Chain A
Amino acid sequence: MSDIIEKVIEQDYKYGFVTDIEQDTLPPGLNEDVIRTISRIKNEPEFMLEWRLKSYRQWLTMEEPTWAKVRYPEIDYQAISYYSAPKKKELNSLDEVDPDLLDTYNKLGIPLEEQKMLSGVAVDAVFDSVSVATTFKSELEKHGVIFCPFSEAVQNHPELIQKYLGSVVPHSDNYFSALNSAVFTDGSFVYIPKGVRCPMELSTYFRINAAKTGQFERTLIVADEGSYVSYLEGCTAPMRDENQLHAAVVELVAHKDASIKYSTVQNWYPGDPKTGKGGIYNFVTKRGTCLEENAKISWTQVETGSAITWKYPSCILKGDNSVGEFYSVALTNNFQQADTGTKMIHLGKNTKSTIISKGISAGKGQQTYRGGVQIMKNAEKARNYSQCDSMLIGEQCGAHTFPYIDVRNSSAQMEHEASTSSIGEDQIYYCNQRGISTEDAVSLIVNGFCKEVFKELPMEFAVEAQKLMEVSLEGAVG
């Protein structure tokens, strides 16, 4: 086994390259002027600037949290440039897109044209901070669905932005979300009107490109009464020696009978395999609220990248009978560290939540599941089921499970289960006996381990996720 593990540790990041495009970049540093400049470049209405400044002032009073079980050198927030955009703007069609940029996507295996024709997926591609191409817009417009870059939404639908921005993750929520609220440059906005079932899966490809540019994305999805939307998010980033900070905020709002499915495949640069140098810091705040009855929010994530992941997609189950789900596969290899999990807050009656978390730790990877389940006083008959399993591959990795369970209502039913183990020698032996090589056997076992989560992903993503697991563990586990 050990030489197989060696092999995966030696695996290089396949998507490491830098695209040469000129960028409009603000000099590094953060102060109120920078925020005013960002707001001016974005041509934002007054309320946005005020909100940004309010967040910034709040951020100044806050301290960087240290409770997560991750270690990293101190971040110099003044050394980061808070705005960077490709020079060409206002593109009408794909032909106008910088060929270099298109090439980048092609290298990543996401040719826009092909996707446009074949997959039926509308892609809002984010290249650094400004969205440069949006497809399938007209199809969506027919149904009244709004799916556009955040900056566009601020111009065209300020009333929706003003109503929902910060309604789930307030500007003062935590250190990184406050920073994001102050300096975010773009992201995606989705609004599904009453009773509409979004005709296609919506997706964004994130990509971090410019050196020393922190990426601060803001995603806001609002599903009005009786609507349904499935949103896909996937990302890869080029190889780089300096750590890149990524502090995104995702807010989901589900009204009565609405349902939101949010899926993520994350494969950012995890840092140099030998030294752990470089790699992305992924400090994300994701939260959804089931505002009214029968709403449903489902998070699915496959996390294989980033040097450090610090992420807890959460659900606030406010409406009666609302449902929250969290399905996660997280892989840490080499020097990666992940502190991830979820928070389910039961406020309404008959609310239900399910947590399925699968962690795989290899090499020197350190992984922590940190989850909170709170059943509040009025959450009659609330129900939670949590299962967190960890798999350890290699002698130097670690897997930790820290659930926080609060029950304040006696009619609640709350179950939590977790296990940690390695792949058994006998399991491998059994497969070997049947003519399956050790690598294939490990792959088989890992895939079986993650199956419960993969089956929750939309079809296109499920294939990608399985491929990603294979690539990430190739040699190590098959």
Chain B
Amino acid sequence: MNHFKSELDSMQKNWSEEPRELSELRQKAFNRFSECGFPTKKWEDWQFTDFSPFDKTKFRISSADDVKDIDKSYTQSFADSFSIIILNGHYQPQLSRVPDGVKIQTLLDIFIINEKADLSYTEENPFIALNTSLMNCGLVVDVADDIQIDKPIHYQFISTAVEDNIMNHPRLLIRLGENSSTEFIEHYTGENTSLYWNNCVTVCELRKNSELHHTRIQEDTGYHTSNLEYHLQNDARLNTLFFNSGTELYRGDVNISINGQNAAAELNGLSLLKNNQHMDMRVIVDHAYPHCTSNQFFKYILDDKSTGVFNGRVIVQKDSQKTNSSQSNKNLLMSKNASMHSNPQLEIYADDVSCSHGSTTGELNEDIIYYLRSRGIDNESAQKLMVEGFAGELLVNSKNEKISAYLRNKLTSWLKSIKNG
């Protein structure tokens, strides 16, 4: 813990020109963080994950020296898109390109010109508090009112090999104006030569009648913690796809607060785990207004000794009548040593609602494999077919064909990798 304190001190020394308001915020958030510390097994909503590695490894905040050669190939994943490039926690405006009507500012700019940005951190979550105090990469993306952006904005967070163990605490705010629509791809990639940690906080505000397609692809190989918050106003529509495959240790919190009528949220998630990977996701959907819809669809595929945690909660507040909500968690165990913890939860205080949830965990059905094999398909292909079918269901939902093709490729190569190993 002391280690984080010294990181904060040196940060404040180096960035002494920072507005006082910001440095006070850092200090306050840090005090909160040191009060609660990292979660322990006794914390009900965090009990299945061991957070001690964060404290054991001495991570240092990445510095400007960590940005070296920029390889052009990084920026080519989805050719036909706008892009925002971040390299080892440093925004690269010269490589970034955004459409008209979208404004990008760093948080520092916002503080200097004294604009408002929501940098609140919830009391209970130490990772948000830590992110607030050590924020080293803040971006605010504003989409103007009444704008339909036809090509996706591809936000790439790239971690390259650095000798030290570095950490980043990026803060991303996405604010959609009224009646606007945007597709945003939040993409984390990285090289697996050294251990690093990305502790991200992303907050999306969807104003009236706006629409956001949010794909979050997490392929970086270090530790990864993330907090995603969505605020939906009247008639806002949210569609997300969370794809997790890289990290060794992952904890993701997703909070959806529905603050207006007729809002709709579709949440999809696919996690692929092998070796000793551990992924822990917690999704909370809070319905505070009537006539809203939310659907959750999360799948995990687990191989080797990996462990998965899904903790989902739907809250329907007292006056949120006519809420329609569903929650589904399906898990496929590919190995005897994999394990899964699934806690889908409903908390309902209104009577005229329709809510359901379901959870299943199991292995591939032998009968179906037998059926396929009796038709001349070998065991491996039969398994592949079934797994692709299981996971593919989520990927076809993606609005963008390029993304869905990209993710299907990832799935195929992941399947190959587990068969070889």
- The interface of chain A, by Cβ under 8 A from chain B, is 67, 390, 392-422
Contacts and interface: CB of A to CB of B under 8 A. Distances in A.
Contact of A403 (B338, B343, B349, B350): B343
A318 B363 CA distance: 22
B409 interface: no
Given A397-B351, A421-B353, A407 B340 contact: yes
B361 interface: yes
A411 to B, nearest CB: 6
Given A390-B348, A395-B351, A404 B343 contact: yes
Interface in B363-412: 363
B361 A407 contact: yes
A405 B342 contact: yes
B161 to A, nearest CB: 35
18 contacts: A392-B348, A392-B350, A392-B351, A395-B350, A399-B346, A400-B345, A401-B345, A403-B342, A403-B344, A406-B339, A406-B340, A406-B342, A407-B361, A410-B333, A411-B336, A415-B359, A418-B358, A422-B353
Main secondary structure of the interface of B (DSSP, over half): strand
B55 interface: no
Query: Which of the listed residues B334, B346, B351, B358 has the most CB atoms from chain A within 10 Å of its own CB?
Result: B351
B347 A415 contact: no
B221 interface: no
Contact of A413 (B334, B346, B358, B362): B362
Nearest to B364: A410
B337 to A, nearest CB: 8
B355 interface: yes
Contacts of A405: 340-343, 359, 361
Query: Which of the listed residues A392, A394, A405, A422 has the most CB atoms from chain B within 10 Å of its own CB?
Result: A405
Contacts of B363: 410-412
Contact of A422 (B44, B339, B351): B351
Nearest to A416: B359
Contacts of A390: 346, 348
Query: Which of the listed residues B44, B334, B356, B359 has the most CB atoms from chain A within 10 Å of its own CB?
Result: B359
Given A397-B351, A415-B360, 19 more contacts: A390-B348, A392-B353, A397-B349, A399-B346, A400-B346, A400-B347, A403-B345, A404-B341, A405-B341, A405-B361, A407-B340, A408-B339, A409-B336, A410-B334, A412-B363, A418-B357, A419-B355, A420-B348, A420-B356
A477 to B, nearest CB: 13
Contacts of B7: none
A398 B349 contact: yes
B335 interface: yes
Nearest to A415: B360
Interface string B87-125: 000000000000000000000000000000000000000
Contact of A398 (B334, B338, B348): B348
A420 B353 contact: yes
A407 B340 CA distance: 5
A271 to B, nearest CB: 20
Given A398-B347, A420-B346, A414 B355 contact: no
Contact of B44 (A67, A397, A410, A418): A67
Interface string B308-352: 000000000010000000000001011110111111111111111
A386 to B, nearest CB: 9
B63 interface: no
Contact of B354 (A396, A409, A412, A421): A421
Nearest to B344: A403
Contact of B359 (A403, A410, A419): A403
Contacts of B361: 405, 407, 412-414
Nearest to B338: A410
A400 B345 CA distance: 7
A175 to B, nearest CB: 16
A416 B360 contact: yes
A411 B2 CA distance: 45
B346 A401 contact: yes
Nearest to A389: B356
A390 B314 CA distance: 14
Interface of B: 44, 318, 331, 333-336, 338-363
Contacts of B357: 401, 416-419
Per CB-CB distance, the 6 closest pairs between chain A and chain B, nearest first, are: A410-B333, A392-B351, A419-B356, A408-B339, A405-B342, A401-B346
A420 B44 contact: no
Contacts of A418: 344, 346, 356-358
A400 B352 contact: no
B345 A406 contact: no
B271 to A, nearest CB: 15
Nearest to B323: A420
A246 to B, nearest CB: 26
A392 B354 CA distance: 10
A113 B353 CA distance: 49
B217 to A, nearest CB: 27
Nearest to A372: B343
B304 to A, nearest CB: 11
A33 to B, nearest CB: 35
Contacts of A400: 345-348
Contacts of A67: 44
Contacts of A419: 354-357
B339 A420 contact: no
B351 A407 contact: no
A19 B346 CA distance: 43
Contacts of A416: 342, 344, 357-360
Contacts of B348: 390, 392, 398-400, 420
Contacts of A413: 360-362
Contacts of B335: 410
A336 B353 CA distance: 21
Query: Which of the listed residues B335, B345, B361 has the most CB atoms from chain A within 10 Å of its own CB?
Result: B361
A410 B345 contact: no
A392 B320 CA distance: 14
Contacts of A394: 351
A189 to B, nearest CB: 37
A414 B353 contact: no
Contacts of A415: 358-360
Nearest to B47: A404
Nearest to A417: B358
A405 B357 CA distance: 13
B212 to A, nearest CB: 28
Given A403-B343, A406-B340, A407-B340, A414 B351 contact: no
A67 B42 CA distance: 11
A404 B342 CA distance: 6
B266 to A, nearest CB: 19
A390 B338 CA distance: 32
Contacts of B355: 419-421
B354 A402 contact: no
Contacts of A404: 341, 343
Contact of B336 (A398, A410, A414, A417): A410
A389 B4 CA distance: 47
Contacts of B359: 403, 405, 414-416
A422 B352 contact: yes
Contacts of B342: 403, 405-407, 416
A34 B266 CA distance: 60
A398 B356 CA distance: 15
A392 B362 CA distance: 32
Contacts of A399: 346, 348
Nearest to B346: A401
Given A392-B351, A397-B351, A402 B345 contact: yes
Query: Which of the listed residues A396, A418, A422 has the most CB atoms from chain B within 10 Å of its own CB?
Result: A418
B354 A407 contact: no
